[in-house]
Amino acid sequence: MQASEAEKPRIVILISGTGSNMVAIADAVKEETIDAEIVGIISNRPTAEGLNKAQAMGLHTDLIDHTLYASRDEFDHALIRMIEDLKPDLVVLAGFMRILTADFTRYYEGRLLNIHPSLLPKYQGLNTHQRALDASDDIHGVTVHFVTEELDGGPNAIQAIVPILDVDNAQLLQQRVHEQEHIIYPIAVKWFCEGRLSMKGNNALLDGNPLPDSGVQLDSRDQ
């Protein structure tokens, strides 16, 4: 029997930009692929296109402009208060372009997911597509991971491998990575909401079993 709306896992999604991963997750919830409720979309940027998309989907939205706060700590504590008003079971970072404080990541440890456009631990930080090209890598990809105090350093849940083609530039590679983002992020959220995906210590577990350092790997070349 399906859980009642009140009993479903509650998801808050944080965005800063277009919200394409937010839409992918929201579509999966709408289609009941993910049995959960999105209780809020929060942006730190008033001009974020994702806010309009969320409102068009009938989702609750909030704005917390980081430029109005004197410090990163002050902003993060205000963000925690806003999130807690929504009583989430899971907080999803979907293109949220803020480096979060240790206080924030500790508060949500084990229930905070992020997506990063590389095969972590390779290429933490920015400009990942160009860095993979500059290194003459054969493969690139994207990772969903739990968030810890270490930037892009929490345990990996799932990765998608994307081949690097001879014709690739950073933009072309980014487009193919984006396609895989919209596949694996809903999968990770689904696993978490089903109680299958969890974090213990610095390990990600699926069905109670520790995952390899890469997390589950999907290879887009097999699709």
Active site positions, annotated = 116
Please say whether the beta carbons of 185 and 151 come within 8 A.
Answer: no
Tell me how far apart the alpha carbons of residues 138 and 162 are, in angstroms, rounded to a whole number.
Answer: 9
Say if residue 173 is exposed, middle or buried (CB neighbours under 10 Å; 0-12, 13-18, 19+).
Answer: buried
37 φ, ψ to 5°? Answer: -130, 125
Give the contacts of 155 (CB within 8 A, at least 6 positions apart): 145, 146, 148, 199, 202, 203, 204, 211, 213, 215
**How many distinct helices (H) and strands (E) make up the chain?**
6, 11
Say if residue 208 is exposed, middle or buried (CB neighbours under 10 Å; 0-12, 13-18, 19+).
Answer: exposed
The DSSP string of 141-164 is: EEEEEE--SSTT-SPEEEEEEEEP
